[in-house]
Amino acid sequence: MSVAAPSAAPRVFVSRPVFPEVLDYLGKHLEVAVNPGAEALPPDALAAAVADREGLLLSGFDPFRAELVARCPRLRAVCNIAVGFNNIDVAACTEAGIRVTNTPDVVDDSTADLAWALILAAGRQVVAWDRWLRAGNWQDTARNPLRGLDIHHATLGILGLGRVGRAIAARAAGFSMQVVYHNRRRLAPQDEAATGARWLPRDELLRASDFLVLALPYTPENRHALGAAELALMKPTACLINVARGGIVDDRALVAALREKRLAGAGLDVFENEPALDPGFLDLDNVVLTPHIGTATRATRVAMALRAAENLVAAMRGHRPRDLVNPEVESRLRA
């Protein structure tokens, strides 16, 4: 599928279908071709589609690795429709003089909303009770050992108090929760006061939290930031909520902790090796699972795609995009 554009406009490719309003916007500035299928293109097909294109609007679920960079000699920008960008080999793009962008800010509230959906669902065992009712057991609740956790007046721990973390913390006031957090770099006193959150060293945060929410970015340093040793520090009555990225948690260690009731529960939107999540999760009744839907509202997904499209148009005009994640590429482009 192609979208009309001004003559001699830069040529770009969209890795998966996007909303009509996004295509309309792109079509006013660029010559656009779109993958007509809903699934990711295989690497060879994606390389062929992008080989003669200057720009790529990339779904955050689609990988763009070094071997693809080498096969796209005309490419000048890869604009990811996601906050994270670990699906892109940023170093290879920088070496090739390709700008890489993401879509921060617009996802904060919808991701925070999902974090709270998981807190409530995991804490009150909503999904397990739903299954119990559907099985015709309404009158037999007394014999069901399921007992939820109080959310009100509990301690909410947030590992990674950035934009999403602050949005999560703001929602805790309605439950009269104490909010504690850990960042590698502590917030300024005025920012702590604004969020109502108290900084703790990481291990103290793990011990103190009744509900621990992960909202930190994925980096090589953060891989398995929560492994068996860290999970062992948490209360057996605690719930772990992950709306950040798969790989931050050692999923195998988490499955073992949940199975052995060393943790009361978990609510997970992201997983290692997704979509091939650890099958051990599927056998547990104390974990709520969602398929990476933190931004899955229409309004948010439109906003993300439009933000990525704006970044792409800026890059195709030779301007520095608003959400550039590899600013060091600018010196290479000026050389």
Provide the annotated active-site residues.
245, 274, 292
Cα–Cα nearest to 22, from 306, 300, 312, 299: 306
Distances (CA, A) of 251 to 7, 88, 162, 271: 51, 23, 23, 7
Residue with tokens 């913390």: 169
Task: Read off the amino acid at residue 114.
Answer: L
CA 147 to chain CA centroid, nearest Å: 30
SS3 210: coil
For residue 317 the two structure tokens come to: 């005009």
Nearest to 118 by CA among 260, 244, 3, 228: 244
Contact yes or no for 57/88 (Cβ under 8 A)? no
Biggest distance spanned by C-alpha atoms of the chain? 75
Q: Among 51, 270, 320, which Cα is nearest to 312's?
A: 320
- Tell me how far apart the alpha carbons of residues 156 and 321 are, in angstroms, rounded to a whole number: 36
Q: State the Cα–Cα distance between residues 256 and 219, nearest whole angstrom.
A: 24
What is the DSSP-derived secondary structure letter of residue 39?
Answer: S
